[in-house]
Amino acid sequence: MRSGFVYAIAYILLAPFIGGFLEGVDRKISARMQRRVGPPLLQPFYDVIKLFNKETISVDSSQTFLLLTYFVLMLVTGVMFFSGSDILMCFFVLSTAATFLYFAGVITSSPYSSIGAQRELIQMMAYEPAVLLTCVGFYLAAGSFNVNEIASTGTSYIFRLPGFFAAFVFILTIKMRKSPFDTSTSHHMHQELVKGITTEMGSKNLALFQITEWYENVFLMGVICLFVVNGTMTGFVASVIVFLLVYFLEILIDNCSARMKWQDMLMITWIVTFFTAGVNLVILMVIK
């Protein structure tokens, strides 16, 4: 219980730094893949500091409040996860947080932001089954939804849950807003939906959104680690290696694929979910 508390505090304090640093690495590696020099490693922090120093502008008075709620609920998700409570509950709170992001997108009624928000909703529908199935996978393997119990059973579940792992990595591309599934927002310029769901977010609102993304990414990486950790030091090291590899894979996918239509995204995600997590689930449940 006490260690859970420590982890939760560590998450609150460190996650933005880890998340921001990971994004810096991401941008640097992406630049190198494109044979550019790329921005400095700390670039994401410079960006956020600058955003905080600008005039607070807004299109709709309620947008800040919705984004703040999104931020806090994301924080709660992470805290619940790292303090070792129920993983299914974590994802339920996460989806509630995402709902608030959707509200922040549509409340302005601005065309680009609304289209981005609608696509965000489609994305949620696309990844939700895989997320829930991942939780079910953990439950089948560890006999509990409890993160603490899953993490400390002495086995790395990745060997029993390879299908679930694959499905989760697949939807991670959606969650981290990486190409080819960056349909709701774009990190790149000159696209058909400008900045998607973030179009109407300027200065502090955007900074808040950015920090929330970092928290979310760290939480997602935590879930990736959960597939590997087994309570030992080796497990811990292995999990860090796995998560770095997964992160690198996401960057690679981002840099060598073009955006997809949302229809295709939905279909492909569900099909992949079925053939990875689904097959794994059937095997686990039948052979058990």
Q: Restricting to residues 211-250, which ones interact with another protein according to CB under 8 A?
A: none
Residue 245's contacts (CB-CB under 8 Å, 6 or more residues apart) are none
Binding of another protein at residue 152 (CB under 8 A)? no
285 CB burial (10 A radius; 0-12, 13-18, 19+): exposed
CB of 235 to another protein, least distance (A): 24
Instruction: Tell which one of 3, 17, 109, 241 touches another protein (CB under 8 A).
Output: 109
Task: Annotate 187-248 with DSSP letters as a single string.
Answer: SSSS-TTTTGGGTT--HHHHHHHHHHHHHHHHHHHHHHHHTT--SSHHHHHHHHHHHHHHHH
Residues 265 to 284 in contact with another protein, rule: CB under 8 A: 270, 278, 281-282
- Cα-based angle 174, 178, 184 (whole degrees, multiple of 5): 65
CB of 18 to another protein, least distance (A): 20
Question: For residue 146, what are the β-bridge partners?
Answer: 86
CB of 268 to another protein, least distance (A): 14
Question: For residue 86, what are the β-bridge partners?
Answer: 146
Binding of another protein at residue 9 (CB under 8 A)? no
Instruction: Tell which one of 18, 128, 244, 272 touches another protein (CB under 8 A).
Output: 128
Q: How many CB atoms lie within 10 A of CB 125?
A: 13
Q: Which stretch binds another protein (CB under 8 A): 6-14, 100-108, 220-228, 239-247?
A: 100-108
Q: Residue 167 or 242: which CB sits closer to another protein?
A: 167
Q: Residue 13 or 55: which CB sits closer to another protein?
A: 55
Binding of another protein at residue 263 (CB under 8 A)? yes
Instruction: Tell which one of 25, 145, 153, 272 touches another protein (CB under 8 A).
Output: 145
d(CA 262, CA 240): 32
Q: Residue 111 or 231: which CB sits closer to another protein?
A: 111
Binding of another protein at residue 161 (CB under 8 A)? no
Using an 8 Å Cβ cutoff, are 255 and 36 in contact? no
CB of 164 to another protein, least distance (A): 12
d(CA 66, CA 232): 40
Per-residue contact flags (x/-) with another protein for residues 45 to 84, judged by CB under 8 A: -xx-xx-xxxxxxxxxxx-xxx-xx--xx--x---x----
What is the token pair recorded at 21? Answer: 């640093």
Residue 17's contacts (CB-CB under 8 Å, 6 or more residues apart) are none
CB of 66 to another protein, least distance (A): 8
CA 223 to chain CA mean position, Å: 10
Binding of another protein at residue 95 (CB under 8 A)? yes
Q: Which stretch binds another protein (CB under 8 A): 160-168, 201-209, 224-232, 242-250?
A: 201-209
Q: Residue 22 or 135: which CB sits closer to another protein?
A: 135
Q: What is the CA radius of gyration of the chain?
A: 19
Instruction: Tell which one of 41, 86, 244, 259 touches another protein (CB under 8 A).
Output: 86
